[in-house]
Amino acid sequence: MQLLTITAAPSKPFHSDAANFPYADRLLEAKNGCENARSELSEWVYNEGLRYFVSRVKKEPLFSLSDAQDLAGESLFEFQRALPRIQALPRYVRRMFRNNLIRHLSRKRARRSRECLGEDLLMETKFSDFLNVQPEEISGLSDIERMRLSTCLQKLNAADDLLRKIWSYRLADEPLPYREIGAILGMEDAALRMRVARFCKSVRDECQRKERRAKLVM
């Protein structure tokens, strides 16, 4: 089996090469148990899949050459399992390639969203922990922790009214989820998350700058 090895995206988009490939005859022969026909079909499907997926690399920011090669292999296995049921081969593989790409990108976008959300929640949790320090607990804080608490308070005091409102809901005894806060403020919850994430990052960056300056003084 001669399989393509592609290291860069092709200049031409994917087009099925069915007109030049005797797919109907090979499909019938493969269904009748001919291993050579099955091998030729597998080679054709893999190479067409690889051409198609590689052509999508530049168009999809979350899709890489490695992903293209993986999907071409997965599509080949899917084709081999479905071979006895396939009637119109070109139409089947076009639909299979498209559906596999859609599923792959959906999973990857969902995973990326969870990772971003996790990072935002981590920053928000750290910030909330400092703001929720009780007065009697301050004496037990280290110098670094006191500096972080002071920075959090300074940043929050300097924030705009909208951001302070968001934090008042998030730091309540029963914190409101972003969806409910968005309904109250008339904003999309994604926009609220973005503002909080930027704010937490600014606090973290300021704390890191102060910690570096403190180390230089020491």
pTM: 0.47
Mean per-residue pLDDT for 11-17? 42
As a whole number of angstroms, the distance between CA 85 and CA 93 comes to 13
Question: Which domains are seen in the chain, by residue range?
Answer: 18-111 (1.10.1740.10), 132-217 (1.10.10)
Report CA Rg, the chain: 28
pLDDT band for position 96 (50/70/90)?
very high
pLDDT tens digits for 134-154? 555 566 667 777 787 788 778
In the predicted structure, residue 49 carries a pLDDT above the cut 80:
yes
- Residue linked to tokens 């479905």: 82
For 175, which DSSP code?
P
Give the whole-angstrom CA distance, residue 49 versus residue 55. Answer: 10
CB atoms near residue 17 (< 10 Å)? 13
Q: Judge whether 3 and 46 are in contact, CB under 8 Å.
A: yes
pLDDT at 211: 83
